[in-house]
Amino acid sequence: MAGEKNKVQFLSGNEACVWAAIHARARFFAGYPISPATEIAEMCAHELPRYGGFYIQMEDEIGSIAAVIGASLGGLRAFTATSGPGLALMQENIGFAAMAEVPCVIINVQRFGPSTGIATKPAQSDVMTTRWGTPGDHSLIVLTPSGGQECYDLTFAAFNLAELFRTPVIVLTDAVIAHLREKVTVKSDEELFLFNEDKQFLRITGLVHDSFGYSSDVPEVAGELIARLAQKIEGYQTLLPGSRFYGPESPEVLIISFGISARAARQAVFLAEQEDLAVSLLELQTLWPFPEEEIRKIGVKAKTVLVAELNRGQVQREVMACGISPEKVRGINKIDTTVITPREILNEILTVIKNN
Amino acid sequence: MVIPDYKKYLAVERLPHIWCAGCGNGVILKALLLVLAELNFRPGEILLATGIGCISRAGDYVSFQRFQGTHGRTLAFVTGLKVARPELKVICLIGDGDCAAIGMGHLIHAARRNLDVAVLVANNLNYGMTGGQFSPLTPNKSLTSTSRAGKNEASLDICRLAEVAGANYVARTSVFYHGELRKYIREAISKTGFSLVEILTSCPTYYGRYNKIGGPGEMLTWFRDKTVPLKKYLQMDKQEQKDFFWRGKLVGRDAPNSYTYGKKNEEPDG
Ligand SMILES: Cc1ncc(C[n+]2csc(CCOP(=O)(O)OP(=O)(O)O)c2C)c(N)n1
Ligand code: SF4
């Protein structure tokens, strides 16, 4: 069967996410159909009951994330899946999960937006909305797979991280890798840790609260709580999936990318190598908290940094703020529903090297 | 009558509460705690789920389990919670704005699923927390901070809505009738499936003041005079009905849950 462990499978990104969730012992899914994430809901409806789990189709995405949070508080590993318009509706309760420290996983399959946009076309323009879509100072984790295997590995990691940090974790994929079928090796559950199984005595509120779960408007209580919540993950970057690095340590051109664009960048680096060019790729797997340290370390050694992404420079602006001179950071961007090709990246590399 | 020991459910050390003098919310909380004491629940067996608003602060004053979500979403949160913990007795305590405006969708669908929770709607006929604006349940022509010439929209009967949506138990009373209030809360909590009790309650600070009803005492007698038993209400003509709220038990049935969550399937091999 398709979900069998320790075996090479041929899976779409969406399917890989579901199997990772099931193998990570997620047993609750609440959702609302939306392209290009719908297959995740369909598969959960079919598979979860076979593992003693539950699928519930809520009346909207606000209700979906709320039900996920409720189930998680009740001791089930819980998740949902959506795309831009649905993510927009979930934002208030994502903030609630951050404030009340409820573990949950949200798979956001990016599509072309804003608004309904084009439902079946890819984009990578939810970078900022995943991080700052919910109001207030807070911290959360966003992971970005670049293919089927990464969909599996990072979704699996997402459940562990959600419980380790007691936080919402967003797995940020896109319309292309969601439907791309690739070889995926599924794991055994050795690396799984579970904190959340016990039936806890619940005292939960999204209001500023003291450690007993009673609301408080004392400035010291508010200040301490928000300071802790806003920094609780930032100090532990080493526990999060690290960026992948391909190519020479001191490149002339460093490409930074993630998701589907990183796949094109990998090929571009390969092509550049054939032409004896010193080009490297840093493929981000954790997008938030932003891996500043990793980027700075190798970014300072590069003459030029190119950030390839399907938006107008959302990650590029973060890279420029990492402590490398902003003048040497440039973007390769596309916002016309097509993906960036290896050739386009290579051409950019060649232009840069010619001008350097 | 022996008064059961309800104080063990009260977080006495958290008092005084934030509610205005003469507010009906304390009456509702006390009625609920008395019922919990009568039924002798242990703190781990029950959970009070609230939304956002004056009444929804009640979770701060109980010593047992509490959950306070976001405005209007209480029933969606507990839909997931009840799947994970079907044995937990969940009592939702929410305002009229919370349940009939922003949270209306979730209320209907929770009733449709016949979710096993008791919903107590504290209907103070306006938005208390934000300063007395009209809600969907505010009667037509009422004066509020956003309807200074009288509310020009129709009101809504949330009980009849819960009935057609599939609730197993529906009743309405007011804080004036304390015995009836406790009875309905007890019946709602004891019922399996979705139950809803609408409790007309006083907000002397806003609704009472804007509509010149008077102080806390006058508000209570206003509820006495404005409510008529359901049977009598049904005999009134449409025009006369407009001046009254019915009170009584509207629905009592034992339809099964329309969902099967909580039944665990076997682990497949592999
Ligand atoms: C999403 C959202 N919108 C608006 C508010 C502001 N707000 C807080 S309480 C409230 C109304 C409360 O009225 P009701 O539910 O009737 O409860 P009451 O305060 O009267 O007890 C509103 C609109 C909010 N907290 N969240
Ligand atoms: S504003 Fe109204 S509902 Fe709120 S506490 Fe005061 S009297 Fe009660």
Q: pLDDT digit string (tens) for B102-123? A: 999 999 999 999 999 999 999 9
**Residue range B217-226, pLDDT digits in tens:** 999 999 999 9
Q: What pLDDT was estimated at residue B265?
A: 42
Report CA(A77)–ligand 1 centroid distance (Å): 30
Who contacts B91 (Cβ-Cβ below 8 Å, separation ≥6)? B32, B46, B47, B48, B49, B117, B118, B120, B189
A151, A173 in Cβ contact below 8 A? yes
Q: What pLDDT was estimated at residue A197?
A: 64
Q: State how far residue B112 is from chain A, nearest Cα, in angstroms.
A: 11
B201, B176 in Cβ contact below 8 A? no
Chain B CB contacts of A1 below 8 Å: 268, 270
**Spatial separation of the C-alpha atoms in residues A24 and A53, rounded to whole Å:** 12
**Spatial separation of the C-alpha atoms in residues B96 and B136, rounded to whole Å:** 8
Report CA(B20)–ligand 2 centroid distance (Å): 5
**Spatial separation of the C-alpha atoms in residues B132 and A231, rounded to whole Å:** 38
The DSSP symbol for B60 reads: G
pLDDT band, very low/low/confident/very high, at A229 (cuts 50, 70, 90): very high
**Spatial separation of the C-alpha atoms in residues B73 and B109, rounded to whole Å:** 12
Q: What pLDDT was estimated at residue B188?
A: 98
Report the relative pairing of strands A104-110 and A253-257 from DSSP bridges: unpaired
pLDDT band, very low/low/confident/very high, at A356 (cuts 50, 70, 90): confident
**Spatial separation of the C-alpha atoms in residues A298 and A316, rounded to whole Å:** 15
pLDDT band, very low/low/confident/very high, at A17 (cuts 50, 70, 90): very high
Residue B15, φ and ψ in degrees, nearest 5: -80, 155
Sequence-ordered alpha helix ranges (H) in chain B: 25-39, 74-84, 96-97, 104-112, 158-165, 178-190, 209-210, 216-226, 230-235, 238-241
Question: For chain A, what is the mean pLDDT?
Answer: 95
For residue A84, pLDDT over 70 is answered with yes
For residue B264, pLDDT over 50 is answered with no
B58 lines ligand 1 (CB under 6 A): no
Q: Which amino acid belongs to residue A305?
A: V
Q: CA A331, A334, A340, A346 torsion: positive or negative?
A: negative
Chain B CB contacts of A26 below 8 Å: none
Q: What pLDDT was estimated at residue A353?
A: 95
**Residue range A295-311, pLDDT digits in tens:** 999 999 999 999 999 99
pTM attached to this predicted model: 0.96
pLDDT band, very low/low/confident/very high, at B269 (cuts 50, 70, 90): very low
Question: For chain B, what is the mean pLDDT?
Answer: 94
Q: CA A26, A162, A174, A123 torsion: positive or negative?
A: positive
Interface test with chain A among B63, B65, B78, B83, by most A beta carbons within 10 Å: B83
Chain A CB contacts of B267 below 8 Å: 50-52
Report CA(A107)–ligand 2 centroid distance (Å): 41
B97 lines ligand 1 (CB under 6 A): yes
Q: What pLDDT was estimated at residue B165?
A: 97
Q: What pLDDT was estimated at residue A189?
A: 56
Q: Which amino acid belongs to residue A168?
A: P
Contact assignment for A73 to B14 by CB distance below 8 Å: no
**Residue range A25-81, pLDDT digits in tens:** 999 999 999 999 999 999 999 999 999 999 999 999 999 999 999 999 999 999 999
Residue A145, CA distances (Å) to A23, A81, B106 in order: 18, 15, 33
Q: What pLDDT was estimated at residue A187?
A: 79
**Residue range B148-187, pLDDT digits in tens:** 999 999 999 999 999 999 999 999 999 999 999 999 999 9
Q: What pLDDT was estimated at residue B267?
A: 44
Share of chain B above pLDDT 70, in %: 95
Residues with CB under 6 A from ligand 2: B 19-20, 23, 25, 54, 124, 128, 203-206
Q: What pLDDT was estimated at residue B259?
A: 65
Helix (DSSP H) and strand (DSSP E) numbers for chain B: 10, 8
Q: What pLDDT was estimated at residue B108?
A: 98
**Residue range A128-181, pLDDT digits in tens:** 999 999 999 999 999 999 999 999 999 999 999 999 999 999 999 999 999 999
Q: What pLDDT was estimated at residue B261?
A: 59
B54 lines ligand 1 (CB under 6 A): yes
Report the relative pairing of strands A286-288 and A141-143 from DSSP bridges: antiparallel
B163 lines ligand 1 (CB under 6 A): no
User: Which of B66, B78, B80 is opposite residue A203, by nearest beta carbon?
Assistant: B66
Three-class secondary structure of residue B224 per DSSP: helix
Chain A CB contacts of B81 below 8 Å: 70-71, 73-74
Looking from the CA of residue B94, the nearest atom of ligand 1 is: 15
pLDDT band, very low/low/confident/very high, at A196 (cuts 50, 70, 90): low
**Spatial separation of the C-alpha atoms in residues A304 and A314, rounded to whole Å:** 18
**Spatial separation of the C-alpha atoms in residues B67 and B263, rounded to whole Å:** 25
**Proportion of chain A in helix, strand, coil states, percent, rounded to 5:** 45, 20, 35
A166, A101 in Cβ contact below 8 A? yes
Q: Token pair of A18, please?
A: 């579901």
**Residue range B33-92, pLDDT digits in tens:** 999 999 999 999 999 999 999 999 999 999 999 999 999 999 999 999 999 999 999 999
